[in-house]
Amino acid sequence: MTEKDKTIEIRWHGRGGQGAVTSAELLALAAIEEGKFAQAFPSFGPERRGAPVLVFNRVSDVNPIRARVSVTNPDIVVILDPGLIYITDVTSGLKEGGVLIINTTKTLVDITSELNGPWKLAVVNATSIAREMLGVPIVNTTMLGALVKATGIIELESLTEPLKERFGARAKGNIDACRKAYEETEIAELSGIVEKPRKTFETETFPSWQELLPGCVVTEAGNAKQYRTGDWKSERPVLDHQKCIKCGICYLFCPEGCIGQNEDGYFEANLYYCKGCGICARECWTEAIKMVEEE
């Protein structure tokens, strides 16, 4: 089998709501536009917004694709959320000589020390680019530019029409973000022993059943806690105690229920779960809450 005959398999790691599914669909459409064979499909469980999700692509220059199973030995892995490298084995099954593409604020040198292995590594600060070009930290179309730069699986221009069709009047921003990521993606050829990232997380103590307030409180370990949805946020709320009047409006409007009242009566977000949506800051009529970018 020649390289041209080979079917390229891609696995996307993202979180619910980040647009990983859209990325894979746009890639497949662009490949088909070039006359190739392609497929895209997600793998969903019962997870909600912010939970880890997997999406898969297969692309072939000449062979029809008949496999309809998950990609377990990818040629390419794309990571939309850098926090996932600490809670998911993102390099599982990645082939020797494959490509690992990460959205991260870290440099190639820093990330290499955490994810060394026999593959090509590409990094780009897609969150920063998306915020600049789109005004929101949604990195799906931005990461397509990094994918094309690192792999050449399709031509960058082939994404233009699918992006226009999907986003309409908002297409230009997505096209610009895609191109900027293409220009700024850094690539290194790695080699050596596979190193899995390790990180020490804070621990959380759950209340006993005698301490729980009435209501449907879920304290069973092993579900949302493991997903560390707070890792997903690109901004976090910061409370100005001088302006806060302890009204609790932020508590009422928080869609995640992650804001609680502390011993001093102030309502503050649990950053372990807060996704950084900014609704608390928008609803705070005394402007005591400001959203600041995560470091």
Identify the pLDDT of residue 186: 93
Residue 174 banded pLDDT, cuts 50, 70, 90: very high
Of residues 25 and 87, more confidently modeled: 25
Partners of 227 in beta bridges: none
Helices (H), 70-159: 108-112, 126-134, 140-151
pLDDT, average across residues 111-119: 81
Residue 111 confidence (pLDDT) above 60: yes
Give the pLDDT score at 17.
79
> Other C-beta atoms within 10 Å of 248: how many?
13
pLDDT score recorded for residue 47 = 56
Mean pLDDT value across residues 68-83: 92
Q: Is pLDDT larger for residue 200 or for residue 36?
A: 36
pLDDT tens per residue across span 1-45: 455 568 999 999 998 878 899 999 999 999 999 999 999 998 876
- pTM given for the model: 0.74
Q: 95 phi and psi, to 5 degrees? A: -70, 150
Confidence of residue 143 (pLDDT cuts 50, 70, 90): very high
pLDDT score, position 189: 78
Question: How far is the C-alpha of 253 from the C-alpha of 24, rounded, in Å?
Answer: 33
Q: At what angle do helices 140-151 and 126-134 cross, to 10 degrees?
A: 130
Which range, 167-181, 215-229, 250-264, is most confident?
Answer: 167-181
DSSP annotation string for 162-182: HHHHHHGGGHHHHHHHHHHHH
Q: Which has the higher per-residue pLDDT, 281 or 225?
A: 281
Q: What pLDDT score was predicted for residue 215? A: 64
**Who has greater pLDDT, 34 or 108?**
34
Report the pLDDT averaged over residues 193-221. Answer: 59
Is the per-residue pLDDT at 48 higher than 80? Answer: no
Q: What is the DSSP string of 245-287?
A: ----HHHHH-TT--EEE-TTS-EEE-TTT-----HHHHH-TT-
**Those residues with Cβ within 8 angstroms of residue 259's Cβ, 6 or more apart along the chain or in another chain:** 250, 251, 267, 268, 269, 270, 274, 280
Distance of CA 218 to the CA centre of its chain: 26
Q: How confident is the model at residue 226 (pLDDT cuts 50, 70, 90)?
A: low
- Taking residue 49's Cβ as centre, other Cβ atoms within 10 Å add up to 15
In sequence order, what are the residues at sequence separation of 6 or more whose Cβ sits closer than 8 angstroms to the Cβ of residue 53? 13, 14, 15, 16, 20, 21, 42, 43, 44, 47
Segment 78-85 shows an average pLDDT of 89
pLDDT value, residue 85: 85
What pLDDT score does 19 carry? 87
Residues 201, 205, 206, CA angle at the centre, nearest 5°? 130
CB 182 within 8 A of CB 149: yes
Distance CA 91, CA 82 (A): 13
pLDDT band at 121 (very low <50, low <70, confident <90, very high): very high
Residues 6+ apart with CB under 8 A from 120: 97, 98, 99, 100, 150, 187, 188, 189, 190
Residue 51 has pLDDT above 80, yes or no: no
Task: Quote the pLDDT of residue 230.
Answer: 73
What pLDDT, on a 0 to 100 scale, did the predictor assign at position 68?
83
- Which tokens belong to 4? 């041209």
State which amino acid sits at residue 262: N
User: In this model, does residue 249 exceed pLDDT 90?
Assistant: yes
